């Protein structure tokens, strides 16, 4: 059944990335043009009310959000969607680094793909709680007979092969509930990919990943962290707070509805109060038919900045305890919908004392630049990673071209080889 679904996708050439967030669900549709170039041909956004900090609390509300986002993407693209690549994120994600060691069994002590597969299996033989599952096993580096820093040991000669890997785990129930929502909405989740990996695919450069950087994905309910070093991820974690906490603070402190608080956050708030003119005023909507009132813009910023400082300090403390704070030599790349708040870059730089910038997805083609904002980084990254996996177009006798279907072995082997191509 899985093979039949995969063949349907390959023939259709349609790739859909689905990012189910705490405040919004985003679907992005990609397709290949006649020149075999990926294009974004549609996208959809829908409010999300069934999740809290990445965990499904209301199946029906999440299902409705998924349906609405994908139907909007269908309408824009003019294509019928049957399946998607699902992003997994939230406070339930955790990680660890592990090592595996095997003896080289290849003829003449030449390292083969079988040796590499065995060392990956040895590296992932770690004990994890029953309520968690391994989402990704990502190779970081290899060691051949004490020679370190090897990126690809294939065909090298040696007796002992070691592998360092980054293992990402997620909550079994959280992942299964997300899959259930997508299935009940009438779509097939072909693959589950960590949202931070997808965002990294579209906003990080190879130089940043090699030198060492922090990807900070600030969503509505969580702030996802991923540290890259030597081209691979070494630390993955999440903070159970995001842009929604800022919206709640504005709503409570200024006595406005949540919708109005969200609008004030987007249009008038800043995380860097020092840059705001003390005499600048903004209009605050009234409740129950009352007239709007004017307040200094700095008052709004004095609500926003402390909450964002708290989130950033929590992130810094987590990185420092894990020993990865000093690895951020290429700076911090901010993404996610909340990364668009004014003054955030200045606040991040003042707290972490390294350079920072907002990561914006690059132009892919097809539609205009409407999708080129940090909120779409994960959904676009899901499309790009799946497009990388599908491979080149090969001509056939019956049609102009069809995507080459790669050989499939074990699910672990598929995942390891795919992520190895991306990050090693």
Q: What is the DSSP string of 207-248?
A: HHHHH-EEEEEE-SS-EEEEEEETTEEEEEEEES--HHHHHH
Q: Are 69 and 44 in contact (CB under 8 A)?
A: yes
pLDDT at 323: 93
Per-residue pLDDT of the chain (424 residues; tens, 9 = 90+): 444 444 344 445 789 999 998 889 999 999 988 888 888 999 999 998 878 877 888 888 999 999 999 999 999 999 999 999 999 987 788 999 999 999 998 778 889 889 999 999 999 888 888 899 999 999 999 999 988 888 889 989 999 999 999 999 998 988 999 999 999 999 999 899 999 999 999 999 999 999 999 999 998 889 999 999 999 999 999 999 999 999 999 999 999 999 999 999 999 999 999 889 999 999 998 887 788 899 999 999 999 999 999 999 999 999 999 999 999 999 999 999 899 999 999 999 999 999 999 998 887 876 667 778 899 999 999 999 999 887 543 433 333 334 444 433 333 444 444 444 544 4
Question: HEC profile for 281-342?
Answer: EEEECCCCCCCCEEEEHHHHHHHHHHHHHHHHHHHHHHHHHHCCHHHCCCCEEEECHHHHCE
Per DSSP, the residues of 145-165 read: TTEEEES--TT-B-SEEEEEE
Question: Phi then psi for 105, rounded to 5 degrees?
Answer: -110, 0
Bridge partners for 171 per DSSP = 132
Burial of 252 (0-12, 13-18, 19+ CB in 10 A): exposed
Please report where in the chains the tokens 């907002």 appear, as a residue: 358
Torsion of CA 301, 361, 79, 394, to 10 degrees: -170
pLDDT at 366: 67
Domain ranges for the chain: 2-91+172-200+361-423, 94-171
State the pTM of this model. 0.86
CB atoms within 10 A of CB 228: 26
Torsion of CA 343, 239, 338, 254, to 10 degrees: -80
Separation of alpha carbons 254 and 75, rounded Å? 38
What's the start-to-end Cα distance of the chain, in Å? 31
Q: Collapse the DSSP code of 74 into the 3-class scheme (helix H, G, I; strand E, B; otherwise coil) and give the result.
A: helix
The closest of 57, 267, 347, 253 to 65, measured between CA atoms, is 57
Classify domain 2-91+172-200+361-423 at the CATH superfamily level: ATPase, nucleotide binding domain (3.30.420.40)
Separation of alpha carbons 201 and 211, rounded Å? 16
pLDDT at 108: 82
Is it true that domain 94-171 has CATH number 3.30.710.10? no
pLDDT at 394: 40
Separation of alpha carbons 9 and 11, rounded Å? 5
Q: Collapse the DSSP code of 393 into the 3-class scheme (helix H, G, I; strand E, B; otherwise coil) and give the result.
A: strand
The closest of 170, 181, 174 to 67, measured between CA atoms, is 181
The closest of 275, 276, 341 to 304, measured between CA atoms, is 341
Q: Which two tokens stand for residue 112?
A: 């083969």
């Amino acid at each position: 059944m899985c093979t039949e679904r995969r063949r349907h996708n390959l023939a259709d050439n349609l790739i859909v990335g689905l990012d189910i967030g705490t405040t919004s669900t985003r679907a992005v549709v990609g397709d290949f043009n006649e020149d075999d170039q990926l294009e974004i041909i549609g996208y959809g956004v829908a409010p999300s009310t069934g999740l809290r900090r990445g965990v499904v609390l209301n199946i029906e509300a999440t299902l409705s959000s998924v349906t609405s986002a994908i139907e909007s993407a269908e309408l824009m693209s003019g294509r019928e969607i049957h399946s998607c690549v699902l992003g997994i994120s939230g406070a339930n994600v955790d990680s660890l680094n592990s090592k595996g060691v095997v003896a080289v069994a290849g003829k003449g002590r030449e390292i083969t793909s079988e040796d590499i597969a065995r060392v990956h299996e040895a590296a992932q033989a770690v004990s994890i709680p029953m309520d968690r599952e391994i989402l990704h096993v990502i190779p970081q580096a290899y060691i051949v007979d004490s020679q370190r820093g090897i990126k690809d040991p294939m065909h090298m000669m040696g007796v002992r092969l070691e592998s360092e890997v980054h293992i990402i785990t997620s909550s079994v129930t959280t992942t299964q509930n997300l899959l259930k929502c997508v299935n009940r909405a009438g779509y097939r989740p072909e693959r589950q990919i960590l949202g931070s990996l997808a965002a990294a695919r579209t906003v990080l450069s190879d130089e940043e990943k090699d030198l060492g950087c922090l990807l900070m994905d600030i969503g509505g309910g969580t702030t996802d962290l991923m540290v890259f070093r030597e081209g691979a991820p070494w630390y993955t974690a999440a903070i159970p707070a995001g842009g929604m906490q800022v919206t709640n603070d504005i709503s409570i402190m200024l006595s406005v509805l949540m919708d109005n608080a969200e609008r004030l956050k987007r249009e008038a708030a800043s995380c860097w109060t020092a840059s705001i003119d003390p005499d600048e005023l903004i209009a605050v909507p009234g409740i129950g038919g009352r007239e709007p009132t004017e307040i200094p813009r700095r008052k709004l910023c004095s609500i926003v900045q402390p909450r964002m400082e708290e989130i950033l300090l929590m992130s810094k403390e987590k990185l420092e305890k894990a020993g990865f704070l000093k690895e951020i030599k290429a700076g911090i790349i901010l993404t996610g919908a909340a990364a668009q708040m004014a003054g955030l870059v200045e606040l991040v730089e003042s707290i972490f004392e390294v350079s920072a910038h907002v990561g914006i997805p690059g132009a892919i083609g097809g539609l205009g630049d409407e999708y080129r904002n940090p909120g779409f980084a994960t959904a676009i990254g899901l499309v790009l990673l799946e497009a990388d996996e599908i491979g080149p177009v090969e001509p056939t006798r019956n049609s102009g071209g069809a995507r080459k279907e790669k050989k499939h072995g074990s699910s672990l082997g598929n995942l390891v080889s795919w992520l190895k191509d991306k990050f090693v």
